[in-house]
Homo-oligomer: A and B are copies of this chain.
């Protein structure tokens, strides 16, 4: 089947497949099976096949997928045939790290500008780019069509910054501030909350500990019974 409206769950996995495919290509492989892809992405092979089938029929029955061609198709589908400009707003701890992060450039993103509300920071050069004032945002976005906003401010400033980004024409926002942003329809917002991830882990850690506890007690009881 040809494309049309790829499921959200699939969109979320395509980047993961892509990276594994690129790594595989670098190692010189030219063909791969869904089974192999599944192992590399930590999912099962039926999922890989169904996901890839949403892009079109790019596999060969009995053989597998052509790595280079599949990379091309996934890139095209994700809109990674062009480099996207990103604007980092808030150059504190995290913004600093992201400005220096080489992984963005390697995977299709170009840091176009750094912005901070703090006048004292303006002008400072981080990762080869000067920090600019917040007022420059409309101009920055105009000069970088399709620019995506990356919010690294404290929670208290994040909504204001988001509004500013939207007013400047940004339609995609990646939010690292620990707050739920409101945005008008047509604007995509994704959130990464580091503490939330740890809290989710805490839930399972606690549950596993409790489980281990039950097992231990169970064994104790069994031991008693054995006497």
Check B84–A198 contact: CB distance below 8 A.
yes
Which B residues lie within 8 Å of A97 (CB)?
Answer: 93-94, 96-97
We find that the number of chain A residues with CB closer than 8 angstroms to chain B is 63
Q: Are A201 and B178 also in contact (CB < 8 A) when A194-B98, A194-B103, A196-B15 are?
A: no
Which B residues lie within 8 Å of A184 (CB)?
Answer: none
Which chain B residue shows the least CB distance to A208? B171
State whether the Cβ of A174 lies closer than 8 Å to any Cβ in chain B: yes
Stretch with Cβ within 8 A of B (4 or more), from A60-68, A72-80, A216-224: A72-80
* Nearest CB on B from A97, distance (A): 4
Which B residues lie within 8 Å of A143 (CB)?
Answer: none
Check A188–B174 contact: CB distance below 8 A.
no
Q: Are A204 and B172 also in contact (CB < 8 A) when A18-B199, A104-B194 are?
A: yes
Per-position contact with B for A169-182: 1 when CB-CB < 8 Å, else 0? Answer: 00111100011111
CB-defined A-B contacts under 8 Å, sample of 9: A97-B97, A103-B178, A106-B195, A150-B198, A174-B198, A186-B208, A188-B204, A190-B197, A190-B201
